[in-house]
Amino acid sequence: MGRRHCAIVRALPENSKASRQNLKINNRADNLKMNISATGPTSAVNQAHLQGQGLLWDVFCRVIDNFGDIGVCWRLCADLAGRGQRVRLWLDDGSALAWMAPGALKGQHANITVHPWLETMDSQGLEELQPANVWIEAFGCEIEPVFISCYRQHTGTTPVWINLEYLSAEPFVERSHTLPSPVMSGPAKGWTKYFYYPGFTEKTGGLLREPWIKDRQALGSEASKTAWLQKFGITWQGEKLISLFCYASAPVTALLESLENFGEPVRLLVTEGQAKTAVQKVQRERNQPRSFDISFLPLVSQTDYDQLLGACDLNFVRGEDSLVRALWVGKPLVWQIYPQEDGAHHAKLHAFLDQMEAPASLHQWHQSWNGLTRQDSLQTLKSPLLAEWQSTAEAFRGRLTSQPDLTQQLIEFVTDKGEAVKKR
């Protein structure tokens, strides 16, 4: 970001160099310099336009647990890159990308580079870094002060600064979307962040949706379903397919009992991790023959997971990323929301179901699956029930695909904010 040393310097842990080598990242590749306006600070977005460049985005993500944060952030980066933007993804733990997005850590995805979080505290390294036009703090993570200080001292621009929030269907989302948040202290004092809320209505930031998703055929035909299953050693013979991706707290025993009474051939496709552990635990405890098949899948890429959702007749999903992907395939789904200790997720779940216009049976299944009602009250899964849910899923998908997607809106918002700074 310039040749002078930054005023804020924070010592790196002794193993920081090894961490950078393990991630195989080379910041020095980004050694282009942004011109500085001689008339004072201006928008970094406007500066890029003046130079005839596409925008450069810094996306910051701290991985908390369960891969949801990094999953959403990678999809956002990939979608931005697919629309001609350049992206740097800053992570404190990039290990999941090895299977989630093969090649990401080796720089094999066009217009995206992945960087270890430790480098945001390396003042000498930051001197060689091209300043970004846009900053995105994902899910409340905070950019390191030394990173901000270096940017401010060595550029004549201000980035458009986005605080990307968690997905919700609650009413406050429409009221809070794009509200400014002035920075009152620290190296960014006087700058402004903007709250950006994904959501399910046109008054929100929308949902991540790549352009190809509108083509339903791209999400899985009968032929592609058969080929995809064979890749994992599964010979599909026309049985109903149900995917299971859940947290450890899910009532898996009740689900397996329901599938025993499904009444026609069914195969449960279980994802690696907590879902697999829960199902295997029940199998050991029951130790008896079952009337349906179970297949355990390895860790799969996001591309393969999308194909899994498209192949199935019912998808059990959890968290934010898998929910959105399940919505795009237009198949019946049951969502396990991320549980919060204060029970705040209850209102969030009901708001989503209301937005979906879910029938009573789907409400009931969600309440039991999320521990809001007794597990033994789960209605037995049958084809007529899935048919009812199918109509709901298709209608909701239709409404959502008619709205602008998150990435499109985000690019437009950033461009508008850049122009606003220029006019001031």
Kindly list the domain boundaries of the chain, sorted by start residue. 16-208+405-423, 211-401
Architecture of domain 16-208+405-423: 3-Layer(aba) Sandwich (3.40)
Most confident of 5-9, 86-90, 208-212: 86-90
The predicted pLDDT at position 21 comes to: 37
Q: Tell me what pLDDT residue 54 has.
A: 74
What digits encode the pLDDT tens for the residues 260-293? 999 999 999 999 999 999 999 999 998 878 889 9
Q: How confident is the model at residue 175 (pLDDT cuts 50, 70, 90)?
A: very high
Q: How confident is the model at residue 344 (pLDDT cuts 50, 70, 90)?
A: confident
The domains spanning 16-208+405-423 and 211-401 adopt the same CATH topology: yes
Q: Which residues of 315-350 are buried (b: 16+ CB within 10 A; e: fewer)?
A: bbbbbbbbbbbbbbbbbbbbbbbeeeeeeebbebbb
132 and 22 Cβ atoms separated by less than 8 Å: no
Q: Is the pLDDT of residue 221 over 50?
A: yes
The mean per-residue pLDDT over the stretch 36-44 comes to: 40
C-alpha closest to that of 144 among 115, 119, 124, 164: 119
230-234, 378-382, 410-414, range with the lowest pLDDT: 378-382
Show which residues are catalytic: 69, 320
- In DSSP terms, which residues pair with 181 in a beta bridge? 193
More confident residue, 24 or 85: 85
pLDDT beyond 90 at 375: no
What mean pLDDT do residues 318-342 have?
Answer: 93
Residue 46: per-residue pLDDT: 60
Residue with the larger pLDDT of the pair 225 and 335: 335
Window from 28-42, 228-242, 266-280, 337-351 with minimum mean pLDDT:
28-42
Tell me which amino acid residue 296 is: F
Q: What is the pLDDT of residue 15?
A: 40
Mean pLDDT value across the chain: 86
Contacts of 404 (CB under 8 A, 6+ apart): 202, 206
What pLDDT score was predicted for residue 288?
A: 78
Indicate yes or no: pTM above 0.75. Answer: yes
pLDDT band at 219, cuts 50/70/90? low
Residue 419 has pLDDT above 90, yes or no: no
- Per-position b or e across 37-68, b if 16+ CB within 10 A of its CB: eeeebbbbbbbbbeeeeebbbbbbbbbeebbb
Whole-number pLDDT of residue 418:
79
CA distance 300 to 101: 9
- Highest mean pLDDT among 35-44, 46-55, 286-295, 331-340 belongs to 331-340
Of 61, 147, 164, nearest in space to 104 by CA: 61
Position 341 scores a pLDDT of: 78
Query: Looking at residue 377, what is its pLDDT?
Result: 65
Q: Which CATH number, 3.40.50, 3.30.420, 1.10.3470, 3.30.2010, labels domain 211-401?
A: 3.40.50
- Mean pLDDT across the stretch 91-120? 96
Least confident of 43-47, 239-243, 393-397: 43-47
- Report which of residues 326 and 221 the model is more confident about: 326
Question: Among 45-54, 60-69, 167-176, which stretch is predicted with the lowest mean pLDDT?
Answer: 45-54
C-alpha closest to that of 257 among 239, 282, 281: 282
Q: Number of C-alpha atoms within 13 angstroms, CB side, residue 326?
A: 27
Compute the average pLDDT of residues 401-407.
97
